[in-house]
Structure 1
Amino acid sequence: MDLDWLKDFLALAELKGFSRAADARNVTQPAFSRRIRALEDWIGTPLFVRGAQGASLTPAGQHFQPLAADMIRSLERARRDTRSVGERNTITLSIAATHALSFTFFPEWIRNHLRFEALGTLSLVSESMEACEEIMLGGEVHFLLCHYHPEAPTRFEPDRFQSVRVGDDCLVPLCAPDSGGRPAWPLSDTSARPIRLLAYSHASGLGRILSAHQMSRDAIAQMEAGFTSHLAATLMTMAREGHGVAWLPRTLAKHDLEQGRLVGAGPPQFDIPIEIRLFRSPDCRNHAADELWHALAQ
């Protein structure tokens, strides 16, 4: 039995559709379906009723759902506790960061705030927002670095998880230019053809922000879904190659904008100002984490 099977099972039980669940788990739908079938074969009974409206739990699946969640929590706790014993004398500071910030904002930001010769060993975990939240809630890292908008929900209760703004960014609708340097997919003109959207998947924090922003939500409702990924860098590549419009962090797309490989697809009212925010774990603490937090608080 594979741990991924349990995670697949819980995703399908929650989302009730093979396509949506496969996208959330970042696997192809045929591979996802095979893994669900493998779990059912391992248990020895069907867990889902398949139908035109999606997938619903059988009585056996309803019985198994809380057990699967408990098993995942227990295994992750065992892994975390065992790893912390092995790393206790080697890892000084651990930070989870979303993919978009890991390669753009994080390197210069950490260099400006910490002297590596005095730091010891720094561990950076680069993941989707959904995965970063799980890691943070599990007490596996000292901090989480992510994009933030007050209207988009996170799983961190303000009274437990302190946070501080460490930078600013902006989500901007971008696309490739046409031969004249104008946007190939202008949001202001939907008369010629439907505008193709390069969308964020369920696991993306940037996708949550887009869904919470009224102007972009209204624009997206008029667009044609063309491609989905939880990685902003992947959507940027697709936009650069002319496949549609993607709302991208300006920090990520800076060089492509400067080189003219990407252009704005719409007027400024479609832009979404966002923060870059550092969340602190209430459960994972040490002297290095205290020092960094004190410096940021000053």
Structure 2
Amino acid sequence: MRLEWLEDILAIAQTGSFSGAAERRNLTQSAFSRRIRQIEDYVGLPLFDRSRKPVQLRPTTLAQSAQIEQIASALRQLVTDLRRGDRVASNRIVIASQHSLTTSLAPRIVQSISDCGHEVYVRLRSANLDECHGLLLSRNADLAIVYSLPDQEALPGEYLESLDLWPDRLIPVLRPEEARILTMGARAELPFVAYPPEVFFGTVMTQRILPALDPGTLALPRAETALTMAALEMAAAGVAVAWVPETLARVGLAQGRLADVSGVLPQCALSVRALRLKGVHGPAEAVIWNHIAGLQGDALAEQG
């Protein structure tokens, strides 16, 4: 049963005449009558009582009118979804984003894409650094937005191309009350929120932050988490110092929930980097890559 046939039946039921239905369906009355005969031949029985004026649905047709309307509506929606699905598939990209960037900068990147009028459907996948690389290499993501160290190369150059977008910093933060005490003098012990050694910020802590502490300061892990947002909240609660990206801490610093103690504790420069596989790219990916390249050095990372 075709969608147009169902709509023909409903047009007669709603207008009460073949002539009114033909006008609604933008057909001549003779063409419309032939199509109704074709529908009835397909079903194998008359659907309308032509002996009455205005034309009325036969009892068997009337009993199914609600179902006919539901089926017609479902078929219309199916056609719309199929057309939209084809458009989405051709304009869809997947961006893998490091967890801390998913919270802070990645939503702004997606919003800037939308603001520029690009009809691209973005799926944002949050993962740790190694998983972002894996999603790229397995072609389960088109682009990745990750943190790196400014002096650190991306994965082997023969596989990936990269863009360094904006600078950031890994800074120590703490609840203001504890921060004032911390800045008053020397510390024999420093409780801090640790990251697992296998994650990116765990490596940064081990290689860049902890070795830079004043000699004689004993760093004591008070808690451990792989999530920078959880580390930030523990610092805001006064559990211990946490090193988090400055862009992630900016709102808490502005609200007075956090204090930046990088004046007395080490910090580390970071770079926000976009990655993609080398080779041929689809139109949507090319548009977004060029758009992201145009954001290099702009004020996006400075927005609060």
* Residue 88 to residue 108, structure 1, CA distance change in 2 (3 Å): closer
| Counterpart code for 1:279 | L
Aligned to 1:218: 212
Match of 2:135 in 1: 135
Query: Separation in 1 of the partners of 2:229 and 2:174?
Result: 13
Summarize the alignment of residues 94-173 of structure 1 with structure 2, pairs less than 5 Å apart.
94-115=94-115, 118-152=118-152, 156-173=155-172
Q: Are the structure 2 counterparts of residues 225 and 268 from structure 1 closer, same or farther at C-alpha, using a change threshold of 3 Å?
A: closer
- Aligned residues of 1:101 and 1:146 also touching (Cα < 8 A): yes
In the other structure, the counterpart of 1:195 is: 190
Alignment RMSD (CA, Å): 3.0
Partner amino acid, structure 2, of 1:107: P
Structure 2 counterpart of 1:251: 247
The answer (yes or no) to whether the contact 1:153–1:208 under 8 Å persists in 2 is no
Q: CA 1:283–1:268 in 2, change beyond 3 Å: closer, same or farther?
A: farther
Distance 1:212 1:285, change over 3 A: farther
Please give the alpha-carbon distance, in whole angstroms, between the structure 2 residues aligned to 1:187 and 1:169: 27
Q: 1:231 aligns with which of 227, 242, 247?
A: 227
Q: Which residue of 1 aligns with 2:71?
A: none
Q: Distance in 2 between matches of 1:188 and 1:284?
A: 57
Map Cα deviations across residues 114-143 of structure 1 (whole Å, 9 max, x no partner).
Answer: 458643321100112222222122221111
Could you give the per-residue CA deviations for residues 168-212 of structure 1, whole angstroms, max 9, x where no partner exists?
21111111122xx74354596213xx2111011134322223333
Q: Which amino acid aligns with 2:126?
A: S
Residues of 2 paired with 1:197 and 1:203: CA distance? 18
> Residue 95 of structure 1: CA displacement?
0.2
Q: Would the alpha carbon gap of residues 248 and 139 (structure 1) be closer, same or farther in structure 2, given more than 3 Å must change? A: same
List gaps (5 residues or longer) in structure 1.
1-85
Change (3 A) 1:153 1:171: same
Structure 2 CA distance, aligned partners of 1:157 and 1:188?
Answer: 45
Corresponding letter in the other structure for 2:176: P
Q: Please, what TM-score do these two structures have when normalized by structure 2?
A: 0.60
Asked if structure 2 preserves the Cα contact closer than 8 Å seen for 1:91 and 1:123, the reply is no
Offset of 1:270 from its aligned partner? Answer: 1.4
Residues 95 and 143 in structure 2, CA contact (< 8 A), matched pair in contact too: yes
User: Quick one: which amino acid aligns to residue 262 of structure 1?
Assistant: L
Q: Does structure 2 retain, via aligned residues, the 8 Å contact 1:187–1:195?
A: no
2: distance between equivalents of 1:112 and 1:204? 29
Alignment partner, residue 273 of structure 1: 269
State the SS of the aligned residue for 1:275: strand
* Cα distance change, pair 238–87 in 1 and its aligned pair in 2 (3 A): farther
- Look up the SS of the partner of 1:195 in the other structure: strand
Deviations 1:52-96 (A, max 9, x none): xxxxxxxxxxxxxxxxxxxxxxxxxxxxxxxxxx99836611100
TM-score of the superposition, structure 1-length normalised? 0.61
Shift of 1:150: 3.5
Task: Number of aligned residue pairs: give it.
Answer: 207
The unaligned stretches of length 5 or more in structure 2 are 1-85, 295-304
Find the structure with the greater CA-based Rg. Answer: 2
Alpha-carbon displacement from aligned partner over 1:144-187 (angstroms, at most 9, x marks no partner): 10111134575x11232111122221111111122xx7435459
- CA offset at residue 97 of structure 1? 0.3
Q: Which amino acid aligns with 2:197?
A: H
What is the Cα deviation at residue 295 of structure 1?
3.4
1:22-53 deviation digits (Å, cap 9, x = unpaired) = xxxxxxxxxxxxxxxxxxxxxxxxxxxxxxxx
* Contact 1:145 1:277 (C-alpha < 8 Å) held by counterparts: yes
Q: Is the 8 A contact 1:197 1:223 kept in 2?
A: yes
Contact 1:177-1:261 at 8 Å conserved across structures: yes
